[in-house]
Structure 1
């Protein structure tokens, strides 16, 4: 049976865990890359903007600026989402999943490894689409933000560790 608790209730265990992993979203574009991208988009929008302005169609410049601003906000939101993560820690008699949202809110879910099953969903091409921990309380999805190959790799390694914890 799982038990949900606040972040301040995290188990402090002296023994080393059998398995520990931190799952994070893919971060393909760093701060410098975002600056270069937005600068390039702004420069590319400025060229036709100057042409329209010289032809007397100055309102077009404002709309092109809105496009650049929309791109900046979209990248900022995307970057914020990459701050979320999940930590999966397995001991012989306890399994904890600590999920931290992009805003920093933490939720810890504890499981009994002997009563918990690892469920791996696959599509028709056998690509891993989702990973769940299933117990009497229901399903808990792990790493929803991971790519299919990352989910498959994590499921293999974690499944092996979960089987070892049961024996």
Structure 2
């Protein structure tokens, strides 16, 4: 019989737009940029059209660059005798760590406005930050469920 984990979570970066949403956003932005662009073109200020086109390209680049992080994730599994953390970057590079939960401390770092800025696993050998790509609210939610699970594993 296999034992089940005390806690398991798959942390992924937040995606505000899908590829279809990015295309729609770019189409709307390009359409709105074309309105003053045509007005400037008719007045003979044609370089403005090129500059507005560059704005559209920069927005497209920024939105697609943020979408490339979609393949990154962290898998955190807490067993009665082990804490396993598997981190996979957007390029597919994988790092796997395993700790004894009895020798691990979980630290929540907050800023002056009480927002969670970092989640750290502290060991004798150093510290490892988890969920770097999460929003402050997501970090707080993760901390609220992970900390009690780690405490139960130590008991």
Separation in 2 of the partners of 1:44 and 1:114? 58
Q: Does residue 46 of structure 1 match 2:34?
A: yes
| Matching residue of 1:154 | 142
| Matching residue of 1:32 | 20
Separation in 1 of the partners of 2:32 and 2:16? 22
Q: Unaligned regions of 5+ residues in structure 2, if any?
A: none
Separation in 2 of the partners of 1:67 and 1:123? 34
TM-score by length of 1: 0.85
Separation in 2 of the partners of 1:23 and 1:105? 16
Separation in 2 of the partners of 1:46 and 1:149? 38
Deviation at 1:37, TM superposition (A): 0.7
What is the RMSD computed on CA atoms of the aligned residues? 1.5
| Matching residue of 1:133 | 121
Deviation at 1:71, TM superposition (A): 0.4
Secondary structure at the residue paired with 2:58? helix
Deviation at 1:127, TM superposition (A): 2.4
Secondary structure at the residue paired with 1:114? helix
Q: Unaligned regions of 5+ residues in structure 1, if any?
A: 1-13
More helix by share: 2
Secondary structure at the residue paired with 2:4? coil
| Matching residue of 1:73 | 61
Deviation at 1:117, TM superposition (A): 0.5
| Matching residue of 1:22 | 10
Separation in 2 of the partners of 1:39 and 1:122? 39
Evaluate the alpha carbon distance shift between residue 124 and residue 59 of structure 1 in structure 2; reply closer, same or farther with a 3 A threshold. closer
Deviations 1:67-93 (A, max 9, x none): 100000000011112332111011111
Separation in 1 of the partners of 2:125 and 2:39? 63
| Matching residue of 1:94 | 82
TM-score by length of 2: 0.91
- The number of residue pairs the alignment matches comes to 154
